[in-house]
Amino acid sequence: MKRRGSGILLHITSLPSPYGIGDLGPWAYKFVDFLSETKQSFWQILPLNPTSGGFGNSPYSSPSAFAGNPLLISPDLLVEDGLLLKSDIEDDSPFPDERVDYNAVTEYKYRLLGMAYENYKKRVRDYEFERFSNENSYWLDDYALFISLKEHFNGIVWSDWPEDIRNRNESAIKEWKEKLRDGILIRKFSQYIFFKQWSSLKTYCKGKNIRVIGDLPIYVSYDSSDVWTNPQIFKLDNNKRPTFVAGVPPDYFSKTGQRWGNPIYRWDVLRESGYSWWIRRVEHNLKLFDIIRLDHFRGFVAYWEVPAGEETALNGKWIEVPVEDFFRTLFKRFSFLPIIAEDLGLITPDVREIMNRFEFPGMKVLLFAFGDDFPNGAYLPHNYEKNCVVYTGTHDNNTVKGWFTGEAHHEDKKRLFRYIGREVEERDVHREFIRLAMMSVANMAVIPMQDILGLGEEARMNLPATSHGNWRWRLLSDQITPSLIKEIREMTETYGRA
């Protein structure tokens, strides 16, 4: 990340495809070609973990910190592999192109995966699948059983399962593995296919000199395979329910703070184990991505702990983490640790000290540069250092045009116009933000695809603290034009990021 470069933020779900959701198939490869043609160096995505309607389809709330999302499996590649017929993937009721309908997509994709698995069973023994299952058994066995149990018990939270399986009694595990054998196998098969397709795409990226930036959420969901399997590393009571949950105190995003509800880690227990769970998680992600964005980085220094019974995050308190010991342990295990620290929110000097000590680049968001919330100018480009990543906005922000037309006050716009030396119209404001990011000293500039296209609020990916209507935006195939390619390539070359 020392070399000057730029990239685009676009999650896999937002890619075009005829199957209702972006996937790891043909359009993923076309997008890599687009990145290459525009002289980009990076493709940033959101977490690849499974999502569900119960979590609002958020990639940051998943039943597994290790598994891949089966909805991202490409039907076209299943046909190429001979696991489906072309006629199997032709649907009489076409999906909308502009938005993801998660319910319809889930029903369709899981039906296809069931058919692919039945066809797969007719083949001769597959040593690749066996090797994948063995190499990933440390998370795959428990994940496949967990999801099968969730289905068997009609989706209820794992702490409400019968006591023997809730507590993972050895005899109960053995009994349920046998009882749910078929369900377990199809879930392992789906994971095998997902990681096979992802590996091929990642190899293609490497061939085009595109480095993939992945996203690693700090916390895991309570109703997950991770907590069910490793209850000892979380703050739970005797009934294995959270005693404290994660969140952040009041800040410029929220007057009452944010109560996320994720279980809190027992860092004392993690430390005693040499952080073995975290080491496996980081190792897993380093195989998937070239660079990892650590979400909510300040939580690795000190985290906001909220009693589980509280409705808001107001009555929480800061708890320190053995951060130096943790990262030194990681550096002993991994000689190279390519991390971007997500340092947005209330950042204290001790967080900055850790970032500087380990030389982790932080994030600068241009949408924060011209409002009242940051009077010290921390997000204005002339205050950047080289070792940082500048974004016009992130998946949690409005688009630049959406901000300009719906959120920016008169004074915000005056600050923007004063900074760039002239007034700009709505149709050009996204270009000015991209130009400011590209021309800055930041080693890395990453632009959301929505801002590349100059789209408005309707293209926003996520509105924090809401659980419906998010993660649905999709790129349309005709939005990538020769003129767009030329414009982005020229700007990339002009500002020395090619």
Rounded Cα distance, 205 and 41, in Å: 10
342 counts as catalytic = yes
Q: For residue 338, which of 282, 254, 408 has the smallest C-alpha distance?
A: 282
Sign of CA pseudo-dihedral 407, 410, 415, 416: positive
Tokens 């073995």 belong to which residue?
Answer: 276
Tell me which of 223, 295, 343, 451 is the catalytic residue: 295
Catalytic residue at 428? no
Q: Residue 163 burial (CB < 10 Å; 0-12/13-18/19+)?
A: exposed
Please give the structure tokens belonging to residue 289: 């991505």
What's at 427, amino acid-wise? R
What is the C-alpha to C-alpha distance for residues 156 and 256, in angstroms, rounded to an integer? 30
- The answer to whether 425 and 416 have CB atoms below 8 angstroms apart is no
Q: Convert 194-243 into a string of H (helix), E (strand) and C (coil).
A: HHHHHHHHHHHHHHCCCEEEEEECCCCCCCCHHHHHCHHHECECCCCCEC
Minimal CA–CA distance to 243: which of 319, 331, 310?
310
**CA geometry: angle at 63 spanning 145 and 100, to 5°?**
120
Q: What is the DSSP letter of 398?
A: P
In the chain the first and final C-alpha atoms are separated, in Å, by: 14
Label the pairing between strands 302-307 and 244-248: antiparallel
| Type of residue at 112 | L
For every residue of 150-163, DSSP letters joined together read: HHHTTT--GGGS-H
**How far, in Å, CA of 391 to CA of 412, rounded?**
18
Tokens at residue 31, please? 């997008």
Asked if 320 and 301 count as a contact pair (C-beta separation under 8 A), the reply is yes
Does an H or E element contain 293, and which?
Answer: strand 291-294
Question: How many angstroms separate the CA atoms of 493 and 183, rounded?
Answer: 51
- How far apart are alpha carbons 39 and 5 in whole angstroms? 9
CB 294 within 8 A of CB 218: yes
H helices present in 310-376, as ranges:
323-333, 349-358
Known active-site residue 91: no
Q: Catalytic residue among 37, 290, 396, 487, which?
A: 396
Q: What is the dihedral of CA 157, 463, 73, 339, to 10 degrees?
A: -90
The single-letter code of the amino acid at 450 is Q
Paired tokens of 360: 């982790």
Catalytic residue among 226, 342, 343, 451: 342
Say if residues 306 and 245 touch (Cβ distance below 8 Å).
yes
The angle subtended at Cα 187 by Cα 186 and Cα 193, nearest 5°, is 85
- Give catalytic residue positions: 295, 342, 396
